[in-house]
Copies of this chain bind each other. A is one copy, B any other.
Amino acid sequence: MTTALPQNNARFLLAARPVGAPKASDWQYTTQSVEAPADGEVLVEVLYISLDPAMRGWMNEGKSYIPPVALGEVMRALGIGRVVASRHPGFAAGDHVTGLLGVQQYARVAGSGLTRVDPALAPLPRYLGTLGMPGVTAYFGLLDIGRPQAGQTVVVSGAAGAVGGVVGQIAKLKGCRVVGIAGGADKCRYLVDELGFDAAIDYKTQDLKAALREHCPDSIDVFFDNVGGETLDAALSHLARGARVVICGAISQYNNTEPTRGPANYLSLLVNRATMTGLVVGDYLPRWGDAIREMAGWMAQGQLKAREDVVSGLENFPTALLKLFKGENHGKLVLKV
């Protein structure tokens, strides 16, 4: 099926490697003409772009779990869109797909990197949140690495974020006591009143260590960390014997211009015979579908709630991304193109 191609593709290129928080001059907002897909490729109109903390890491030089974005390249991002033209047998114009589409209006990508999604089953942004990378991260990070048992205490930082909210709700489904750490009274109310957390700690106004002692009288069996820094140290100081610490991210450290703050309380791992383990969700690709199916089932039964924070306008990408690092997003942060 062939349709007239759109003319222009507006996009954000990485212009410089940021020092600290990404600033306007680290981006180049340009337009290029749209090219027809080659054999095996698909042209996708990008509808929603996922804004994730991991993107900050992709902007740095050096070895990581995937190569950095090169200077002058379209900024890497997960997204969801509609197929405009396809030369891949698996996709036809009109299909809705998700994959690494980049921060742009139109993505010409290999069909092998795309997954079809059904817009009738869930709102499209949800496939970038609970039914996407953050949800699957929460699912395997908690269940495979955290291994919570009924009656145990699970603490999650960044609890009102895309990953944290899912972690806490799944831990509740597994019969745990769940305490969330988030910034601000609104987020804390949301965690307890809407998502069913047992308690929430506002790190902006409360003493973290004292609050953890208060809300976790039996110490912490599973700490799921999205934040790092002081938050990680406070949790380490209150581990239960045999605790599991899941290192999912460290958003407090990503814009550091000084070296990362290492967890000074790491010897708590020794005292408590505890384990700290890192997680990269890409390792779970073979079991991705299992996680999505189970979470979709919980959603259908009202046991798993999702929330997206949608910012509109591709041109607002640089400022929208910063909301993550300021803790201004509430739920999964998504840019509507």
Please give, as numbers and ranges, the residues of chain B lying within 8 Å of A262 by CB-CB distance.
Answer: 233, 261-266
Assuming the contacts A271-B65, A278-B270, asked whether A261 and B264 have C-beta atoms less than 8 A apart, the reply is: yes
Chain A window 165-200, contacts with chain B (Cβ cutoff 8 Å), 1 for yes, 0 for no: 000000000000000000000000000000000000
Instruction: Check A264 against B269 for contact (C-beta < 8 Å).
Output: no
**Residue A283 CB within 8 A of the other chain:** yes
Instruction: Check B270 against A264 for contact (C-beta < 8 Å).
Output: no
Q: Which of A203-211, A247-255, A287-295, A309-317 is the contact stretch?
A: A247-255
Please give, as numbers and ranges, the residues of chain B lying within 8 Å of A266 by CB-CB distance.
Answer: 247, 260, 262-263, 266, 276
Whole-angstrom distance between the alpha carbons of A275 and B75 in the complex?
31
Instruction: Check B272 against A278 for contact (C-beta < 8 Å).
Output: yes
Whole-angstrom distance between the alpha carbons of A52 and B50 in the complex?
53
Whole-angstrom distance between the alpha carbons of A260 and B264 in the complex?
5
Instruction: Check A247 against B269 for contact (C-beta < 8 Å).
Output: yes
Instruction: Check A274 against B277 for contact (C-beta < 8 Å).
Output: yes
Option from B63, B65, B265, B277 in Cβ contact (under 8 Å) with A275: B277
**Residue A89 CB within 8 A of the other chain:** no
**Residue A3 CB within 8 A of the other chain:** no
Option from B249, B267, B271, B278 in Cβ contact (under 8 Å) with A253: B267
Whole-angstrom distance between the alpha carbons of A247 and B239 in the complex?
16
Instruction: Check B259 against A264 for contact (C-beta < 8 Å).
Output: yes
Give min CB distance, A286 to chain B, whole Å.
15
Assuming the contacts A261-B262, A262-B261, asked whether A277 and B271 have C-beta atoms less than 8 A apart, the reply is: no
Assuming the contacts A233-B262, A262-B265, A264-B259, asked whether A278 and B283 have C-beta atoms less than 8 A apart, the reply is: no
Instruction: Check B267 against A250 for contact (C-beta < 8 Å).
Output: yes
**Residue A337 CB within 8 A of the other chain:** no
Further 19 A-B residue pairs, CB within 8 A, beyond A64-B271, A247-B266, A275-B276: A63-B271, A247-B269, A250-B267, A253-B267, A259-B264, A260-B264, A262-B264, A266-B276, A267-B278, A268-B278, A269-B276, A270-B279, A271-B278, A271-B280, A272-B278, A273-B277, A273-B280, A274-B278, A275-B275
